[in-house]
């Protein structure tokens, strides 16, 4: 007779990108029965979502892709959600990347993920905010995580803890931990452009390539142009 799974449950917001792939493995390593959520909110392309689906199938992780494109008109004022806007192709810093901010994205996604956690009896919800995002994305700052944790503790009768393993770390720290866990980063998509090959020029590609370079490694992902 098949024994019931007695592992504690955790919800992971999993975009299919490098950071969230590492968070997914971190939750698995911590001994959770992982329930991964990916969201289609009207982003420019679905390459990350396709990657997320394949990874979860291979790892036998419960996975749902949630279509919330109906909210696109409310949060569409971003280069990540508007195909008519020019995508910044420069280093990943505050001056260059402000146009990629999607208003309140993480608050919206966390609200849905916390609701799902309560629904399935999970007490933990992970997402991939990290130190390199603080100056650019307001909903990746420690203050935001702290306050969302306070809300998550009282919004339902069952409190949910928000975990951000690399909140005070940078991309190279995430990569180093991922390599320790044996992650193949060919199974991730970071580029803001949804072409066949990663562009290598947008801020997200540049930050990723710089992280590999900092560790003296070569990114296994195929690029049109490698800037590092």
**Would you say 19 is a known binding-site residue?**
yes
**Would you say 204 is a known binding-site residue?**
no
**Would you say 23 is a known binding-site residue?**
yes
**Would you say 56 is a known binding-site residue?**
no
**Would you say 126 is a known binding-site residue?**
no
**Would you say 17 is a known binding-site residue?**
yes
State the Cα–Cα distance between residues 189 and 219, nearest whole angstrom: 11
**Would you say 22 is a known binding-site residue?**
yes
**Would you say 67 is a known binding-site residue?**
no
**Would you say 191 is a known binding-site residue?**
yes
| DSSP state letters, 193-204 | S-SSSB-S-SHH
Q: Of 121, 202, 132, 187, nearest to 157 (Cα)?
A: 121
**Would you say 87 is a known binding-site residue?**
no
Alpha carbon 88 to chain centroid, angstroms = 20
State the Cα–Cα distance between residues 43 and 112, nearest whole angstrom: 17
**Would you say 107 is a known binding-site residue?**
no
Given a contact cutoff of 8 angstroms between Cβ atoms, the answer to whether 97 and 109 are in contact is no
Q: Which residues pair with 36 in a beta bridge?
A: 12, 63
Binding region for ATP: 14-24
Query: Which segments are annotated as binding site for Zn(2+)?
Result: 191, 199, 202, 205
Binding residues: 14-24, 191, 199, 202, 205
């Amino acid at each position: 007779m098949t024994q019931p799974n007695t592992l504690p449950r955790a919800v992971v917001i999993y975009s299919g990108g490098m950071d969230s792939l590492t968070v997914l493995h971190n939750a698995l390593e911590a001994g959770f029965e992982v329930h991964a959520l990916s969201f289609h909110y009207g982003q420019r392309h679905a390459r990350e979502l396709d990657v997320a689906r394949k990874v979860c199938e291979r790892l036998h992780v419960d996975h749902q892709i949630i279509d919330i494109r109906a909210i696109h008109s409310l949060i569409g004022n971003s280069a990540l959600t508007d195909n008519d806007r020019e995508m910044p192709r420069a280093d990943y810093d505050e001056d260059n990347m402000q146009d990629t901010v999607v208003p309140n994205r993480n608050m919206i996604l966390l609200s849905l993920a916390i609701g799902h956690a309560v629904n399935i009896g999970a007490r933990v919800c992970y997402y991939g905010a990290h130190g390199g995002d603080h100056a650019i994305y307001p909903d990746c700052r420690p203050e935001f995580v702290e306050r969302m944790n306070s809300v998550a503790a009282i919004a339902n009768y069952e409190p949910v803890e928000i975990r951000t393993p690399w909140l005070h770390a940078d991309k190279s720290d995430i990569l180093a931990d991922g390599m320790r866990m044996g992650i193949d980063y060919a199974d991730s998509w970071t580029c803001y452009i949804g072409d066949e090959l990663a562009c290598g020029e947008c801020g997200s590609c540049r930050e990723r390539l710089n992280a590999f370079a900092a560790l003296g490694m070569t990114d296994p992902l195929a690029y049109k142009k490698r800037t590092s």
